[in-house]
Amino acid sequence: MKRTKKHGKIAFITTPKYRETCPELVDFFIYRYMYGLCSHFAVMTTGRTTSYLKELLRRPLGAADTSSIEKDTGFPIRSESDFTRWREVVLRGLRPTMSGYPGVIHVAYELVEGRLSALIHLTDWEDKSAKPDSAVLSREANVHNVPSATDVDTAIAYVQAWRSILERTGGKGPLFRVRDRATNPPLRGLDRSHSVLAMVSHDNMKLEICRFAIENAAHIFRHYNYILATGNTGGWIQRFMEAAGRSPADVARIRLCNSGPKGGDLQIAYAVVKGICQDIIFFQDPSVSHPHDSDIRLFEQAVLHKDVKVRLATNVESARFLIGL
């Protein structure tokens, strides 16, 4: 079968609660629009959504399902081979990632890095208000001006708009604005063979973490290949290191992620779930609330995930023990 040019990467996620409470809507959207989405886009899905999709593709079709598929594909579903043709296009367009919090962190990381063009995240208010992963995706989509739909009606409006543009332009688009991407991504070249320390701090703790970094610089640079830091904290640490006379080579080993409000916590969380970062020093200010609190909560849940191996220190004394002083 001829492969169609992809016009970007979108994420398609359904929360467990939404699938439980609105199964007819989820199934309708998949039967009616997933073929078109997978034909024109790389569709990133988290593990549980992928499993649900694959299970749905194995079910016998009803008349309404067949009608929905025919409207999406433009060809009739008269035999098992027709349904197989539809199923293969959908499966080939999927880009599955991990399950649970790690999967959502991967999606958020792709969004922050500028590689995600749109987000369809079918959820409900209870999930968005109680679960940091749902809140994070909505917040980061707004921060980075990425189209985001959390209900079926909005998702359908987006899909119809994309289809209209493709038909009007003969499949040439463009559909989405070109997003800025980092010329030197902080995780580029890092893998599990490196020893990586992450350093993060709230605003009122930046002087404290800089003092700790300077006092223990020799030990830190001797034991770690790289330091990952959120943008503002890392910028402070770099300037303090330069003022203290550390070499340019040492300063260059401090990799700057985005600031926390622009997704820096999520970039580090991704490094954690991928096994790239083993130790984290996160000096927190418990007396202040933060506009990106959902990012911080998801970061903390990633650290505490049963399959994630990482060590975390949240104050000076615990940081001393963590790095082996």
Strand order from edge to edge, sheet including 254-256? 254-256, 226-229, 196-201, 279-283, 311-313
Q: Which residue among the candidates 133, 265, 279, 295 is catalytic per the annotation?
A: 265
191 is annotated as an active-site residue: no
Say if residues 257 and 234 touch (Cβ distance below 8 Å). yes
Strand order from edge to edge, sheet including 9-14? 94-96, 42-45, 9-14, 118-122, 148-149
SS3 content of the chain, % helix, strand, coil (to 5): 55, 15, 35
Say if residues 109 and 9 touch (Cβ distance below 8 Å). no
Count of residues making up the chain: 325
Q: How many CB atoms lie within 10 A of CB 24?
A: 9
Q: 170: which 2 tokens?
A: 């003969």
CA 77/CA 70 separation, integer angstroms: 6
Active site (catalytic) residues: 265
